[in-house]
Amino acid sequence: LLTDVAGSLWPRDLIERCRGAAPEAGTLVRVVVGVDPPASAEGTCGIVACGLDRDGVGHVLADHSAGGLSPDGWARKVAAAAEAHGADRIVAETNQGGDMVLSVLRAAGIALPVTRASATQSKPARAEPIAGLFEAGKARFAGRFAELEAELAALVPQGYGRPRHSPDRADAMVWALWALLIAPRAEPRVWRT
């Protein structure tokens, strides 16, 4: 049961308005797995799969986040999520670990391209534009994700409303949707001489 936090970026009514069925097979043009690696062995590794449909709408497909895993353990979980959803890219925050994060993912057998995401703003500041996409109908939840939704509901512009807890699932979702809906993309061009 979600409770509203004053000023939440994802109030309960927004989450419910943005809930729908999973996209039909073959309707997604891209799938990305967002990863927020844990800072310690006790932490949770945020692992969230998101897809982009032909209409340009982002869908949260699954939350594969897990806690208490070794680096090899969470990297294998990322690899399994990527395979399960047919991902074409991994987006991993590298503030905690840098090149080590990429090495651990490669050692787990991930051959997909990995985009390094470097956080320069707080988690709530990164989340605000993504919350705006949900408000505008450009992002949806393909089902129910209780733990992810609880983290989202506790995000406010000034911080996070759950002391001694990090919104790792929420951050992984933010990175995945950022890659699908906000990151600048190079448009194909033909060079003429």
Backbone φ and ψ for 76, nearest 5 degrees, come out as -65, -35
The residue to which tokens 């509901």 are assigned: 153
CA distance 178 to 114: 14
**Cα radius of gyration (the chain):** 16
Nearest to 69 by CA among 46, 97, 42: 42
Is the pLDDT score of 163 beyond 70? Answer: no
User: For 107-136, what is each residue's pLDDT tens digit?
Assistant: 998 989 998 887 777 778 889 999 999 999
**Report field, pTM of the whole predicted structure over 0.85:** yes
